């Protein structure tokens, strides 16, 4: 029993270490850059370098391949602390984990030794390429094809809305290897930047999360060696789903961090400007602040429950349901809290003088990516209705 307790204490200490480190980096380098990153929409290479020095870009890569071997809770803590100041900069950490996860979950030992080790050594960025113009929510309908020819596959297709598509060194690409069988016909591949036939299309001008690079990724007769396939042929769907189940709590954590950032900002203003006295209770300011804080705590609790279930590998529990709940609930809370923060500042809330305007635009995007909030509700409802 003592041993078990000591182990739990040690795990908590490691998590707290990640939280503190992320908080320090967020205050020192992210906060001063947040407004500018949003305004220019440029990729923050300086932050990528800083993150990689602290291990934020190899968080979920196992130690034996040079990674940090962090658990999902620590991953969430890092995402949350950074999102307190800048959701775009938090997404950089999340997407790197999303890109490396299929490799870590599905690759053979030799594959992992090759690619994961290189990603860490080269401080390389990787992106996760599933979405296509006609396959967003319904990712089983992707049309990108991978046709086996002797010792390689030929990949052809068009991916869109790919985070870090224009800046990545490696692309985790999901394609159809067996068109007759839908999910079981999807396989994952690693494509290296510079491979002939791989090109970057349109860069999206988004309303929010503007500091994150989002592009089309075009594959035209891209020759990919067999040993670049992630695990077995047909295992791609399983790799995608297992990855998203683990990343959705981190998206929830990003939403919690963003909402907390907005709340901290308006509470500071309310204190400085004496709003609660001046505007009085009739203005609703104190009650709105209380609601914002309560909603954020509820979202945080759900996010950490989902993350903990992943870490505990909770058997017999539908972890994907908690993962979906945490993503949609936390991002809906972020949307509500940031909208209330803008409303509280009245016309000034609409201007770039205050970060809550940016935060509100960022919250909207979080409701859409990593599976829309409608789709997350479907996951929950589907499980409720099918269980006896």
- The catalytic residue positions are 370
Nearer to ligand FAD, 164 or 295 (CB): 164
144 binds ligand FAD (CB under 6 A): no
Residue 310, C-beta contacts closer than 8 angstroms, at least 6 positions apart: 71, 72, 245, 246, 249, 319, 323
**How far apart are the C-alpha atoms of 376 and 383, rounded to whole Å?**
11
Name the closest residue to ligand FAD (Cβ).
Answer: 136
Among 136, 185, 236, 261, binds ligand FAD (CB under 6 A): 136
100 binds ligand FAD (CB under 6 A): no
Q: Specify the residue for token string 């609409």.
A: 350
161 binds ligand FAD (CB under 6 A): yes
Nearer to ligand FAD, 81 or 362 (CB): 362
For ligand FAD, which stretch binds (CB under 6 A), given 61-69, 129-137, 231-239, 335-343?
129-137
128 binds ligand FAD (CB under 6 A): yes
In the shown chain, the binding pattern of residues 232 to 261 toward ligand FAD, with x for contact by CB under 6 A and - for none, equals ------------------------------
**How far apart are the C-alpha atoms of 305 and 318, rounded to whole Å?**
12
For 56-90, b/e burial (b = at least 16 CB within 10 A) is bbbbbbeeebbbbbbbbbbbbbbbbbbbbbbbbbb
Nearer to ligand FAD, 85 or 128 (CB): 128
209 binds ligand FAD (CB under 6 A): yes
189 binds ligand FAD (CB under 6 A): no
**How far apart are the C-alpha atoms of 196 and 198, rounded to whole Å?**
6
Among 268, 374, 383, 384, binds ligand FAD (CB under 6 A): 374
Nearer to ligand FAD, 18 or 161 (CB): 161
| Two structure tokens written together for 249 | 């709590």
CB of 191 closer than 8 Å to CB of 155:
yes
What is the rounded (10 degree) CA torsion for 75, 90, 21, 51? 100
Nearer to ligand FAD, 15 or 206 (CB): 206
**How far apart are the C-alpha atoms of 260 and 282, rounded to whole Å?**
24
Q: What is the 3-state secondary structure (H, E, C) of 155-205?
A: EEEEEEEEECCCCCCEEEEEEECCHHHHHHHEEEEEEECCCCCEEEEEECC
CB of 271 to ligand FAD, least distance (A): 34
Residues that bind ligand FAD (CB under 6 A): 95, 127-131, 136-137, 161-163, 206, 209, 214, 365, 368-372, 374-375, 378
């Amino acid at each position: 029993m003592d041993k078990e307790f000591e182990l739990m204490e040690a795990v908590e200490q490691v998590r707290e270490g990640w939280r503190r480190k992320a908080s320090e980096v967020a205050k020192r380098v992210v906060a001063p850059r947040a407004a500018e990153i949003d305004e220019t929409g440029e990729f923050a290479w300086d932050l990528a370098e800083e993150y990689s020095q602290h291990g934020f870009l190899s968080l979920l890569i196992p130690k034996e391949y040079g990674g940090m071997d962090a658990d999902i809770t620590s991953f969430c803590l890092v995402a949350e602390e950074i999102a307190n100041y800048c959701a775009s900069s938090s997404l950089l950490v999340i997407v790197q984990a999303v890109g490396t996860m299929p490799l870590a979950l599905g690759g053979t030992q030799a594959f992992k030794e090759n690619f994961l080790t290189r990603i860490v050594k080269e401080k390389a960025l990787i992106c996760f390429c599933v979405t296509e113009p006609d396959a967003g929510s319904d990712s089983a309908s992707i049309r990108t094809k991978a046709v086996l020819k002797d010792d390689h596959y030929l990949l052809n297709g068009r991916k869109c809305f790919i985070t870090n598509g224009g800046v990545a060194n490696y692309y985790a690409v999901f394609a159809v290897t067996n068109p007759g069988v839908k999910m079981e016909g999807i396989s994952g591949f690693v494509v290296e930047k510079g491979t002939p036939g791989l090109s970057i299309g349109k860069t999206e001008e988004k309303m929010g999360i503007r500091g994150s690079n989002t592009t089309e990724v075009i594959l035209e007769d891209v020759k990919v060696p067999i040993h670049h396939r992630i695990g077995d042929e047909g295992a791609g769907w399983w790799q995608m789903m297992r990855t998203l189940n683990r990343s959705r709590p981190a998206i929830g954590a990003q939403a919690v961090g963003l909402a907390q950032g907005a709340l901290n900002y308006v509470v500071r203003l309310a204190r400085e400007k004496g709003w609660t006295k001046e505007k009085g209770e009739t203005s609703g300011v104190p009650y709105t602040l209380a609601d914002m804080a309560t909603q954020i705590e509820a979202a945080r609790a759900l996010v950490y429950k989902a993350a903990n279930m992943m870490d505990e590998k909770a058997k017999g529990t539908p972890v994907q349901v908690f993962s979906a709940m945490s993503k949609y609930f936390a991002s809906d809370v972020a949307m509500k809290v940031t909208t209330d923060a803008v409303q509280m500042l009245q016309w000034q809330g609409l201007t770039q003088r205050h970060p809550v305007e940016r935060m509100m635009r960022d919250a909207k995007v979080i409701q859409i990516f990593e599976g829309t909030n409608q789709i997350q509700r479907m996951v929950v409802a589907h499980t409720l209705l099918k269980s006896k």
